[in-house]
Amino acid sequence: MAVLMDLHNHTTRCCHASGAMEAYVEKARERGITDYGFSDHSHWMLHARGQRYAMLAEELDDYVNDVRRLQERHNSDGDQPFRIRLGMEMDYIPSRLDVAEDVRKRYDWDYLIGSVHNIGFEKLQEPEMYNFWHIEDVCEIYFHCVGMMVRERFCDIVGHLDLPKKMGAMPAGGMLRYVEPLIPDLLANDIAVEINTSGMDNPARAFMPGWDIVEALAVSGVPLTLGSDAHAPHNVGRHFDAALEGLRKAGVKELVRFERRQMIAEPIA
């Protein structure tokens, strides 16, 4: 049976998602996903303007225990295998790396997604930010941070690689020129890049990363995986048919999943 993964999914603990964890799992099974991962936001995420976008530190044990209970209830082998994976979307913040390292060691994660969501206290997904910051400057700082994250082998998967475009801003000539210098470091550190399908439901109206970047990654041999970045059950597996079609056109033969932080390649579904 073909393996189809969705490794980027949130819970209500992040304060900007809705729906019971059980409902996310049910939607994954309904959509033919066989390797489903929860990866809620790390508690050390920067919170601007008094808002909270991630779980509290004291909620982490409960998050892990909830995933474990769902694994006991739903994991199965046989003709219709299904696996729930324990992950986290960890913010890369240089001054908080000691907190991240403690959490990495404390639990038996299946995978860790590394993301950069902020430049200072400016949140990259706030549309008004781009009224004050030039997109080229945003990209320069953002991709510098992503490069540091990759070289430090902070994570197993890079989340929404070209995130600055999500609100609709795009530098002249696109973002491939910022990504190409990262490819040797992605390969050297054995880090995958997700095809994040949530951008289709945002002003960018595009997958993250875009197809020119996907093709460059694929040609270079950078491992790829899938994530819907679901913040509600109906988001699970969103736009996956289009993503898989595009991956095939780009010549991608396999995607990767993870178990206990070990990368496992699977033929594309």
pLDDT tens digits along 143-176: 999 999 999 999 999 999 999 999 999 999 999 9
- Locate 62 and state its tokens: 């409960």
Question: What is the spatial distance between Cα 207 and Cα 230, in angstroms, rounded to a whole number?
Answer: 14
pLDDT at 135 over 80: yes
pLDDT at 263 over 90: yes
Question: What is the spatial distance between Cα 151 and Cα 101, in angstroms, rounded to a whole number?
Answer: 15
Is 177 strand, coil or helix?
helix
- Cα distances (angstroms) measured from residue 190 to each of 129, 226, 256: 33, 16, 12
pLDDT tens digits along 192-242: 999 999 999 999 999 999 999 999 999 999 999 999 999 999 999 999 999
Please report, for the chain, the start and end positions of each structural domain, with discontinuous segments joined by +.
5-267
Contacts of 116 (CB under 8 A, 6+ apart): 91, 92, 124, 142, 145, 146, 149, 163
* Per-residue confidence (pLDDT) for residue 94, from 0 to 100: 94
* Per-residue confidence (pLDDT) for residue 225, from 0 to 100: 98
Across the chain, what does the average pLDDT equal?
95
The residue whose two tokens read 């973002």 is: 175
Contact criterion met (CB below 8 Å) for 5 and 33: yes
Question: What is the spatial distance between Cα 56 and Cα 48, in angstroms, rounded to a whole number?
Answer: 15
Position 269 confidence tier, pLDDT thresholds 50, 70, 90? confident
Please give the CATH topology (third level) of the domain spanning 5-267. TIM Barrel (3.20.20)
pLDDT at 180 over 90: yes
* Per-residue confidence (pLDDT) for residue 1, from 0 to 100: 58
pLDDT at 49 over 80: no
In percent, the amount of the chain with pLDDT more than 90 equals 88
